[in-house]
Amino acid sequence: MKKFKIPSVPPTTNKCIRFPNDIIEEVETAIKNKNCTFTAFVIEAVRIALENLKNDDED
């Protein structure tokens, strides 16, 4: 399994999504004092999740 790394800010397209407040708080704590936005963190998490799903399908 690939290790999650907090990413730098990539180019993005605006997309609205709702998150539970507790998840928002946890992400904001994780990225505090890092060169990372909430959006960049979520995108990296989704990329890893998609990669994991793809690997699961291949197994």
Enumerate residues 6+ apart whose C-beta is below 8 A from 34: 6
Ramachandran sector of residue 33 (left: φ over 0; alpha: ψ -120 to 50; beta: rest): left
Residues 6+ positions from 33 with CB-CB distance below 8 Å:
none
Q: What is the pTM of this model?
A: 0.71
In one-letter notation, the amino acid at residue 19 is F
pLDDT in tens, 1-43: 788 888 776 677 788 999 999 999 999 999 999 999 998 899 8
CA 1 to chain centre: 15
